[in-house]
Structure 1
Amino acid sequence: MKRIKKYEQIYINLSWIFITMALCIEIICDFFYINNLQFHQKSVYRLVFIFALVLLNLLKQLAINRDLFTNNVLYWGLRALEIITITFSLRFLELGQLIYPFMFVIILLAACRRSKKDAFFIAVFIMVSDLIFSLLYCFIYQKSQLSIVEQGRLLINVIVYFLMFIFSIIYGSISADEIEKEKKNKELYSELENKIRQLETEQQEAKLQNEKLKETNYKVEEANKKLRESIAEYYTVQQITQAISSIFDVKELLKHVNDIIIGVMGVNNSTIVLYDEKKDRLRVHTTNVSNRDELIALFDNINCDALKDVLKSKKPLLENFVDSKEYPFTEDRNVSSLICVPLVTKTKNFGLVLVEHKYFNAFDEDNLRLLNIIGQQVSIALENAELYEKMHEMATVDNLTGVYNRLYFQERLQKEFENAQKEGYSLSLAIFDIDHFKRFNDTFGHLFGDKVLKDISNMLKNSLRSGDIIARYGGEEFVVLFPRTGLKEAYDKVESLREKIAKTVIRDELVTASVTVSFGLSSYPEISSTQSELLKMADNALYDAKASGRNCVKIANTDISSVVDSNV
């Protein structure tokens, strides 16, 4: 439709040019034929014709400007007026060939606007109008029929109109094809635009989905990272918990935990520092630092204020830019980052866990949190180990005297006897009791009797070797085990202990008393061949000592003089 509007506008512009030229020619002709009355009469008709064309052009311009040519009634009305005006001028104003271009353009516009059918109607309407005005011309000028010239001219007009019609049909077909192509192109273009818009929408949606996927992927990665960290933490805690439940030796436990920390956290150095509450000092217990100079720097400067503050405040420390002046234990040790967490419980401060890295900014809050969890587990382990040690002591040590009890002695005797059998070394055993102990209780009271037991126990513990084992066997009776000791050496030790006790005076406020003891001695494999025989024969020897007047040493089934003589 835009193209037809463009063609109509071009036709109007050409009409204005024609009108202007016709008006100028008319004025010039009037000037040259100023005395010709007949010419001036036709000139008036031509001016009316020009005026009519001006009105038609104005009406068409108005219709184009307001897009009214889509209205068929208005379009055909204006075309009919235009054709009537032009065919009238052709017959009565004798314009001749000047009118043909207008007729051709009108037919052409009709062919381009609608179809061949419209062009045919326009051509027929032109021929009918021309015929009517030709007949009207004969009637007005009282002619019975058209002259041969006029008939020839009318026939020529019909042929010309027909040729115009044929050409218009051809052009209209071409134009229709072009219009159809243009229409299809527009449809394709519109479809393409729709697809482009759809594609843009899909791209936008895909972009949004991609952003959502990125966000989801980021969240999944964060979740996986936290999961990995949680698994690592769980694994670490599980290992430490397993160590706590299976390792009761504190030294071995802390070494195992230190190895776990190094493996899990990937640090250069890990050190476990214990706190001596009585001396108010820190000491390095376990570390993977192996360089001699670094060990000296660590041991000498571990009691710095920064680490003591961590223990006192019970708050962990994270430092990613270590200053050796503030942390003197790091001086000349290539330490750039460190974390220190306290090993504390509600009741006691056990020490610190110190991890170090050679790179700056090596640790974050997650590392601190993990080490803090490890520290809490280690604190529990140390507390459990301390409780276990106390419980073990309560289970194996006699409360009154501080020496081992009979139950623990039985266990140690079995182990030592098995080792003596396997390795082929001597094992001696002595049993002694305090002479006339009942007299102390009856005379001075049970408290003094308890003091006698304590003092003799302490004296014996201080007089024996570290490998020797003393235990309270019952009441005032004690037993001493001498691993890797033969009969002669055992006799000398026991005799020395008897003499030392006999010279001892026990004092308790106003009470003073001397104490003597009697010993029975046995030895494997010189006298006894089994564990039970070793104990029984020592007990029998004790009864012999008591029967011999007490305050002496008797050897089972052996003449003491022979042992003494062999020593001499």
Structure 2
Amino acid sequence: SREELGQEFKAVYVVSRDLAALTERDEVRRLLIRSARQLVPLEAAAVVMEDEAETRYVVEEAHGWAREFEGREVAITERTWAAWVLRSGEDPCLLDNVAGHQDRMPILVLDEASSRAESLLAVPLKASTRTLGALMLMGRRGAFDAAASRVLGVLANQAAAALSTIQMKDRIKDLAMRDGLTGLYNRRAFDDELRRAFGREDRQHGRLALVLLDIDHFKKLNDTFGHPAGDAVLRHTARVVEQHLRRGDQAARFGGEEFAIILPGTGEGGAVRLAERVREAVEKAQLVFEGARLSVTVSLGAAVWPDDGKDQEALLTAADRALYAAKQAGRNRAALASGLPPAASSFAPTI
């Protein structure tokens, strides 16, 4: 009725006001699902978000039976209703008989059991000309109608605007945390990320590895070929490091020709494998600068929390000792803090 519709849009106004005050993307997604649950009878719901490259989507927030798929990634080209909505970017899609539709597809992920939902309402999250994601609502036959589609479409637009604003602010903040030459995180961002990583692993009783990397004979290279060549070597090394990171790993320019890599949930074996892969890749990579072939190698030191250091400062010291040992042993190699003798009081600094 007109009265019910008015009440629904009044509720949307309240939610829109709340959305405008949020500063985190996960807060927006949670409020979106909570509001949808209050507006329509749901059995399950999910917010899927498209990545920046527009090649995949992630089930970021879910309710009901969809919770088992939180965190799952799906290629945007796959045959799912979520992928279809993201590709089409059209108005809300309402299906009151999912199983009977001529295009029989799973809703969220490929290995989703069939007939999980009778009715589907999929609402794109559109900001300007780009589809950021979609709100996927699942229920029994007749759970959704055209009025619900209109109201949730308005709500989704408000959520998309809030997400777009937060993304823009996050990009600006991210730029301030980046090293201008290499694009890696700067020292300040590294310190913040290491502190957060310590907190996460401590809560989960996990492990954490830290790898320090130093470009061998960098001063000599600068003196021989000039600072522009040195800059090229720094950018080249940063790219090689990035190519070997796993999801969740973080690399930073630690200072000068030194880099740092944070490896959450990683023990000694994982740290050694990554250090060796990076070392070999840098050595084998061909870097030509203004017609000159530059030979670049790196030395690396790895330490693991909590075995090699109980806090940030102790872990950094342990990794730095391992790096110094690698350089003293001839450079172009990796060393583990656990393989070193106990620290002497007059420990020499990294050179």
TM-score range, shorter chain: 0.5 to 0.7
| C-alpha deviation, 1:393, in angstroms | 3.5
For residues 334 and 282 of structure 1, the distance between their equivalents in structure 2, rounded to whole angstroms, comes to 23
Which residue in the other structure is 2:89 paired with? Answer: 311
Give the Cα separation in 2 of the matches to 1:502 and 1:371.
55
* Alignment partners' CA distance in 2, 1:546 and 1:281: 42
Is residue 2:163 matched to residue 1:382?
A: yes
Q: Secondary structure at the match of 2:89?
A: helix
Verify: 1:372 aligned to 2:150, yes or no. no
Q: 1:477 deviation in Å?
A: 0.9
Q: CA deviation at 1:374?
A: 0.2
Paired residue secondary structure (2:233): helix
**Which of the pair has more CA radius of gyration?**
1
Give the SS at the match of 2:142. coil
Q: Distance in 2 between matches of 1:537 and 1:280?
A: 40
CA distance in 1, matches of 2:101, 2:140: 17
- Give the deviation of 1:240 after TM superposition: 4.3
Aligned twin of 2:15? 236
Corresponding residue to 1:345 among 127, 130, 138? 127
Q: Per-residue displacement from partner, 1:224-268 (whole Å, max 9, x unpaired)?
A: 7676445423343345446xx15423xx74354134213213467
Asked whether 1:438 is paired with 2:219, we answer yes
Q: CA deviation at 1:378?
A: 1.8
Label 1:412 to 1:510 Cα distance change in 2 as closer, same or farther (>3 A). same
Residues 328-375 of structure 1 deviation map (CA, whole Å, 9 limit, x = unaligned): 66998654xx866543222423345466773399444xx454223202
Distance 1:350 1:503, change over 3 A: closer
| C-alpha distance in 2 between matches for 1:462 and 1:533 | 28
| Aligned position for 2:32 | 257
Q: Following TM superposition, by how much is the alpha carbon of 1:377 offset from its aligned partner in structure 2, in angstroms? A: 1.1
* 1:281–1:303 contact (8 Å) kept in structure 2: no
State the alpha-carbon separation in 1 of the partners of residues 64 and 200 from structure 2. Answer: 37
Mapped to 1, the partners of 2:177 and 2:166 lie a distance apart of: 16
Q: Would the aligned equivalents of 1:304 and 1:327 in 2 still touch at CA under 8 Å?
A: no
Q: Give the equivalent residue in structure 2 for 1:182.
A: none
**Does the residue aligned with 1:344 lie in a helix, a strand or coil?**
strand
Specify whether residues 375 and 464 from structure 1 end up closer, same or farther in structure 2 by C-alpha distance, changes over 3 A only. Answer: closer
**Which residue does 1:539 correspond to in 2?**
320
CA–CA separation in structure 1 for the residues paired with 2:229 and 2:297 = 15
- Deviation (angstroms), 1:473: 0.2
Contact kept in structure 2, 1:470 and 1:480, CA below 8 Å: yes
Fraction of identical pairs, as percent: 29
Distance across 1 between alignment mates of 2:52 and 2:202: 44
Choose the corresponding residue for 1:358, options 141, 150, 153.
141
Residue of structure 2 in register with 1:62 after alignment = none
**CA distance in structure 2 between the aligned counterparts of 1:349 and 1:269, rounded to whole angstroms:** 22
Unaligned runs of 5+ in 1: 1-220, 292-298, 561-568
Q: Between Structure 1 and Structure 2, which shows a larger proportion of helix residues? A: 1
Is the alpha carbon distance of 1:503 and 1:532 closer, same or farther for their aligned partners in structure 2, counting shifts above 3 Å? Answer: same
Q: How has the CA–CA distance of structure 1 residues 351 and 440 changed in structure 2, closer, same or farther, with 3 Å as cutoff?
A: same
SS at match of 1:401: coil
Check whether the contact 1:426–1:523 (CA below 8 A) recurs between aligned residues. Answer: yes
RMSD: 5.0
Verify the 8 A CA contact 1:334 1:358 in the aligned structure 2.
yes
Give the letter aligned to residue 257 of structure 1.
L
Distance 2:127 2:101 in 1: 30
277 and 302 in structure 1: CA distance in 2 versus 1, 3 angstrom threshold: farther
Amino acid at match of 1:507: V
**Structure-2 change in CA distance of 1:526 and 1:435 (3 Å):** same
Residues 124 and 156 in structure 2, CA contact (< 8 A), matched pair in contact too: yes
**Residue by residue, what CA displacement relative to the aligned partner does 1:282-308 show, whole Å, maximum 9, x if unpaired?**
9987676859xxxxxxx8463899x68
Q: Aligned residue for 2:291?
A: 510
Label 1:451 to 1:232 Cα distance change in 2 as closer, same or farther (>3 A): same
One-letter amino acid matched to 1:511:
A
Tell me: higher relative CO, structure 1 or 2? Use CA pairs within 8 A at least 6 residues apart. 2
Which amino acid in structure 2 is aligned with residue 350 of structure 1? Answer: L
SS of the counterpart of 1:433?
strand
Query: Pick from 474, 490, 508: which aligns with 2:255?
Result: 474
1:248 is matched with which residue: 18, 25, 35? 25
- Quick one: distance in 2 between partners of 1:487 and 1:340? 46
Letter of the 1:519 counterpart: L
The SS at the match of 1:460 is: helix
1:401 equivalent to 2:175? Answer no
Once structures 1 and 2 are overlaid, which stretch shifts more, 224-233 or 506-515? 224-233
Report the Cα offset of residue 276 of structure 1: 7.2
Contact 1:487/1:526 (8 A) holds in 2: no
Please report how far the alpha carbon of residue 275 of structure 1 lies from its aligned counterpart in structure 2 after TM superposition: 5.9
Which amino acid in the other structure matches residue 126 of structure 2? V
**Is the 1:269–1:357 contact (alpha carbons within 8 Å) kept by the matching residues of 2?**
no
Contact 1:518 1:551 in 2 (8 A): yes
Aligned to 2:233: 452
Give the strand-richer structure, 1 or 2.
2
* Conserved 8 A contact 2:299-2:333: yes
Could you say if the C-alpha distance between residues 410 and 363 of structure 1 is closer, same or farther in structure 2, counting changes exceeding 3 Å?
same
Q: 1:264 to 1:407 in 2, by over 3 A?
A: same
**Shift in CA distance, 492/226, structure 1 to aligned 2, threshold 3 Å:** closer
Q: Report how many aligned residue pairs link the two structures.
A: 321
Where in structure 2 are the equivalents of 1:33-432 lying within 5 Å? 228-238=7-17, 240-241=19-20, 245=22, 247-249=24-26, 253-254=28-29, 256-266=31-41, 290=65, 300=79, 302=81, 311=89, 334-335=118-119, 341-353=123-135, 358-359=141-142, 362-364=145-147, 367-417=148-198, 427-432=208-213
